Structure 1
Amino acid sequence: MDVREEVKLSRTKITFKRGKTQKKKNNRVESSTADAVLNPKPLNFVKPVPARESDSEMNPQPKNQKKSKITFTLKPSAEKIIDPAQAAPVQVAPVQPAPVQAPVQDAPVQAAPVQEEDITNERLDNDDGMHVARTRILRNVLKFSKHKKHIQHNHRRITMSPGREAAIAEEKEAERKQEAERLIKEAERKKKEEAERKKKEEDERLIIEAKKKKKEEDERLIMEAKKKKEEAERKKKEEAEIKKEEAERKKAEKQEADKRERKLPKLKN
């Protein structure tokens, strides 16, 4: 690489702005710097810089006077020129065959994760370099407008007229009356609903009791009818047994009478 190219690369400054790489060069003339590196002047030609009176502590520099800027430039070291006559003999190394290497396989390409773009750092097509400044100014304006509205609201609240205060008091009194009426109506409605609920529960209780009494009366009547039927059957059975016994008794008496009648003729004989 040439010395001029090295100096040129050393003077190149790389900056990063909004995600893009840009190259900026110093305002110094590169040709003069390269010439100074290639053809350095001896020390006899370098003139010492005299110190200014304003730099001393005894004579300080006034505040309104513009200070001078002193810049220091670091020069790359020039390559040492070697005389070919004094150079050591070059020894040629034996050429060795390069080792056989396996073919390098490319690593699998992985999809980079999708990242959300930052709108604030996005470079616009028509950006003139003042986008960030305009955004900051607009943000400050909005903040000041909100603060101003808050101050105006507090000022209106503090400097309220007596008529407005009376109107607000009347509105509050009207709202209080409306709230009281609403509470009274709500209490009456709840009381009415409670009375209706109790009446409904009483009616349901009476209906249930009437049904229960009717069911008990029906069961009692059924039991009485059943008992009457059983009593009638028992009486009928008893009468049947009495009639049967009477018939058997009469039959036995008749047989006894027949036997006596049969014995009478024998007695006559």
Structure 2
Amino acid sequence: MDDLKTRGLVLLGCGKMGSAMLKGWLAGGLPPSSVTVLDPHPSEWLQSTGVALNTDLPANPAIVLVAVKPQMMGDALPTLQKLGNGDTVFLTVAAGISIATYETMLGADTPIIRAMPNTPAAIGRGITGIVGNVKVSGAALDMAEGLLKAVGQVVRLDTEAQIRPLTAISGCGPAYVFHLIEAMALAGEKAGLSADMAMQLAKATVGGAGQLAEDSDEGPAQLRINVTSPGGVTAEALRVLMDETDGFVPLMERAVAAAITRDEELA
């Protein structure tokens, strides 16, 4: 934090993800005067924070966090090229852009950390995977992890190749869970519940079960067993959901494989 306070931090892009992180940093004690934000369409909230907004860059910031959409990267990064090949760390949360691409844009000697957060970061419940290039020190990774913990948990990857399966699980995963809620609610409605009640039950059940899985000392398999009476109602539903051919596991394996394939195609 001391290095960030003295050298400063640059945030490129302050949409939903950037705003969530900035709120966490400011709440954690980072002075607004240490933050420079570059954003062409700043929100009223951003303008009220006291950060330096769309001003000249600090000469040698500790870190530049790149939080613009991938399609905007080509226009945004040239602004920051003068900070490349130094000891300023570039931390990017933009999806689909490899470390090698950043090295081409900023210089091969630039410390670059690639991160993949997910949308629950907007409420401080995200999980982010990070990996750096060979120029990134342990101290730089610690700094990046500390910043990203403002919006949830952080895991360190061994290789950049692990970004793809991580994206397919935690990056895309919230959409899978949202669809599970939709499916449960529709099934409840077809079974005779009102649409509103079925949706309320599905949301609360998924949210509560997720929190229980995170908080419990028992693993999800044991938690499932705890709910399941032999030969009972839950067991009969699980007989369908755990089918080796058509159940959740093979379905999820196909979904994750499709996500990884598409990610490779878009790279």
**TM-score tier after normalising by the smaller chain length:** under 0.3
Please identify the structure whose Cα radius of gyration is greater: 1
Q: Which structure exhibits the higher relative contact order, with contacts defined as CA atoms closer than 8 Å and separated by 6 or more residues?
A: 2
TM-score (norm 1): 0.16
Q: Which has the higher strand share?
A: 2
**Normalization by structure 2: what TM-score?**
0.17
